[in-house]
Amino acid sequence: MAISQTHFRSISLPSRLDHSKSLESECEKLKCGSGSSESLQSGLVALAQLYNSFEEFSQKSTRIDDRKSVEESLSRSVDLLDACGAIREVLQMMRENIRALQSAMRRKGTDSDSAQNDVAVYFSFRKRMQKTVAKTLKNLSKSEIVTGSKSKSNNHSVNADGEFGLVFKQLAGITSANLRSVLAFVSYAAERSLVSRLVAGKSSGAVSEIEDLDLGLRGRVRGEVAKKLQIVDEIVGELEGGFEGLFRQLIQTRVTLLNILTAQL
C-alpha cells in the first residue's frame, strides 16, 4: 500500500501555554507530507510532546466544558489508546518475525531452498498482520464517525475559557491521522500492486522500505536482502519506541480526563 500524502492542520491554544514550547511549533512537526519513515518517526515524538502540552493546558484551564463533553473526550481517548496498543503489538510482532528471518538467512544463506521456506513463513505473517491493520483502521473510522455525530447533536458552545472539548477533538484528529499513516506504512500489498508502482515510479523511491524488502524477498528488485532486513528492523524499532512514548502519554491523558470527571461529581 502506498503512503498517501498526509497534511496535519495546525491548532492553536490559549496563551496559557506561552510559557512552554510553542504548541504551534509542535504541530508543524506533524505536517509530514512525505509519509517517509523519518517523518513518521519524528511525527510520533512530536505527537507525544503535543499531548504533554495538552496536559499543561488542562491543568491550567480555569473552566472545563460540560460533563458530556469531557465524557466524549474520554471515550475518544480510550479508542485512540486501543488503536495505539494494537499498532504497538503489530510492530513488536513484525520485528520478531524480521529478526527470525535475519537469523535464518545468516545460518542458511539467502538463496537456499530452506531459507525460502522461512521467507514464506514471513509473508504468511504479513498477510495475517494485515487483518489487524484493517481492523484497527475500521475501528478508527468508527470512532471518528461516532464522535463527529455526537459533536453535531450536542452543538457545544466554545469560548475563551471553555474550549477544552474542542482542543481535544482537534488533538484526537491529529492523532488519528498519524496512526493511519503508520498503518499504511506497515500494510501488506500484493506483489502485482508493488511491481506496478515500482515500474510507474521508475525507482525504489516509489515504494516504502518495508515494501522494498517485500520485493527483494520475492526477487523483484536488486540489492542485498540482508541489508534491507537490517534497514526495516531499525525503522520498525524506531517506530516501536515512538509508540511506547505515545502510549504512555495517552494513558496519562485518560487519567487526566477521569480526574476531571471525578472533580465534577
Q: How far is CA 109 from CA 94, 112, 228, in A?
A: 21, 6, 15
User: Would residue 214 count as lying in a domain?
Assistant: no
Q: Which three cell numbers stand for residue 235?
A: 525503522
- The whole-chain average pLDDT of the chain stands at 78
How does residue 115 score in pLDDT terms, banded at 50, 70 and 90? confident
User: Would residue 127 count as lying in a domain?
Assistant: yes
| Residue 159: pLDDT over 50 | no
What's the pLDDT at 158?
Answer: 38
pTM for the predicted model, two decimal places: 0.80
Number of H helices, E strands in the chain: 8, 0
User: Would residue 29 count as lying in a domain?
Assistant: yes
| Residue 211: pLDDT over 50 | yes
| Residue 123: pLDDT over 80 | yes
Domain count, the chain: 1
The better pLDDT of the pair 240, 224 is held by 240
Residue the block writes with cell 480555569: 62
The better pLDDT of the pair 31, 93 is held by 93
User: Would residue 244 count as lying in a domain?
Assistant: yes
Distance of alpha carbon 256 from the chain centroid = 22
Total Cβ atoms within 10 A of residue 60: 11
What's the pLDDT at 195?
Answer: 57
User: Would residue 252 count as lying in a domain?
Assistant: yes
User: Would residue 74 count as lying in a domain?
Assistant: yes
The residue among 14, 51, 5, 46 whose CA lies nearest residue 28 is 46
Task: Render pLDDT for 230-264 as a digit per residue (tens, 0 to 9).
Answer: 999 999 999 999 999 999 999 999 998 898 888 77
| Residue 84: pLDDT over 50 | yes
Rounded to 10 degrees, the C-alpha dihedral 161/165/171/174 comes to -130
Report phi then psi at 202, rounded to 5: 65, 5
Q: How far is CA 183 from CA 80, 241, 256, in A?
A: 13, 15, 27
| Residue 27: pLDDT over 90 | no
User: Would residue 157 count as lying in a domain?
Assistant: yes
Average pLDDT over residues 170-195: 83
Q: Which helix (H) or strand (E) holds 205?
A: none
Cα separation, 139 vs 194, whole angstroms: 26
The residue among 80, 84, 79, 78 whose CA lies nearest residue 254 is 78
Average pLDDT over residues 131-140: 93
Residue the block writes with cell 521508475: 202
What's the pLDDT at 146?
Answer: 75
User: Would residue 161 count as lying in a domain?
Assistant: yes
Bin 48: left if φ > 0, else alpha if -120 < ψ < 50, else beta.
Answer: alpha
What's the pLDDT at 5?
Answer: 42
Average pLDDT over residues 83-102: 96
The better pLDDT of the pair 116, 264 is held by 116
| Residue 51: pLDDT over 70 | yes
| DSSP code of residue 17 | G
Burial of 204 by CB count in 10 Å (0-12 exposed, 13-18 middle, 19+ buried)?
Answer: middle
Task: Render pLDDT for 58-70 as a digit per residue (tens, 0 to 9).
Answer: 777 655 657 788 8
Q: Which domain holds residue 59?
A: 15-189+222-263
